[in-house]
Structure 1
Amino acid sequence: MENKKNIAICGLDCEKCDAFLATKNNDDALREKTAQLWSKLNNVPILPEHINCEGCRIDGIKTYYCSTMCDIRKCAVDRGFETCAECREIDSCSKVANVFEHNAEARNNLNNCLCLE
């Protein structure tokens, strides 16, 4: 598979992410919907103005949650990993397990693509 810089650290496809799409399309309704959903899922207050992102591994703006609060991102950055695929503990990692449980495509993305440039 080709290089894919828009595969997030956890394997999610940024191009399918509502925050990415809201930013790309300047869609305030999608920002509102995403903020409500993410607030509920993460049990933290997320406002529509926080929903701006150009991609997890791309230089540029990121949602506040992703840039500041995401434990998966913090872990990978602290360890110097481009993605979780580089980590030997990926199969037993409780941080990324939740992503894989809710999105099997994320694990496949990490297994099947060369996510590094």
Structure 2
Amino acid sequence: MEANKELIAACGLYCGACRKYLSDKCLGCHENVKATWCKIRSCVEGRGYHTCAECSKNVNECKIYSNFIGKIFAFLFKSDCPACIRYIRDHGEHAFAEEMTKRKCQTIKRK
């Protein structure tokens, strides 16, 4: 599996390590035009960004990013998407894609 920054979802998840994506059952965040239900994706696309990391808002204070569904997802999968966004801001998208590819993970895990 090769790292690809284009496979970083708007919220900071890495589609390149997702079982559904890898088994061709999902197109990934940016290519999935049916994902109109995702408000984060809609916001990012509407602003012309690739991920929330490009926005000046703190993701923990953003009402679109820190929503109820996201909190449930984070709890169930022990995911720390804000940590993914911070990693992207600090190191860049390519470094994040490489790190997630190396870890074989979609997200940075909560401790």
What does residue range 3-14 of structure 1 map to in structure 2 within 5 Å? 4-14=5-15
Kept in 2, the 8 Å contact 1:11–1:109? The answer is yes
Identical-residue share of aligned pairs (%): 32
Query: 1:10 deviation in Å?
Result: 0.4
Structure 1 residues 49-106: Cα deviation after superposition (integer angstroms, max 9, x where no partner) = xx531x324xxx4262x2x2211111111111111011122231122224367021x3
Kept in 1, the 8 Å contact 2:12–2:51? The answer is yes
- Looking at structure 1, the residues matched to 48 and 9 of structure 2 have their Cα atoms a distance apart, in angstroms, of 15
In structure 2, the partner of 1:71 is 39
Name the amino acid aligned to 2:9. A
- Looking at structure 1, the residues matched to 41 and 48 of structure 2 have their Cα atoms a distance apart, in angstroms, of 10
Report which of the two structures shows the higher radius of gyration computed on alpha carbons: 1
Q: 1:16 to 1:97 in 2, by over 3 A?
A: farther
Q: 1:56 to 1:84 in 2, by over 3 A?
A: same
- Looking at structure 2, the residues matched to 14 and 3 of structure 1 have their Cα atoms a distance apart, in angstroms, of 9
TM-score normalised by length of structure 2: 0.56
Q: 1:70 to 1:6 in 2, by over 3 A?
A: same
Structure 2 stretches lacking a partner, 5+ long: 95-111
Name the amino acid aligned to 2:46. D
Q: CA RMSD in A?
A: 2.7
In structure 1, the partner of 2:83 is 108
Match of 1:56 among 17, 26, 29: 29
Structure 1 stretches lacking a partner, 5+ long: 24-50
Equivalent residues, number: 81
Task: Choose between structure 1 and 2: higher helix proportion.
Answer: 1
Q: 1:8 to 1:95 in 2, by over 3 A?
A: same
- Looking at structure 2, the residues matched to 52 and 3 of structure 1 have their Cα atoms a distance apart, in angstroms, of 16
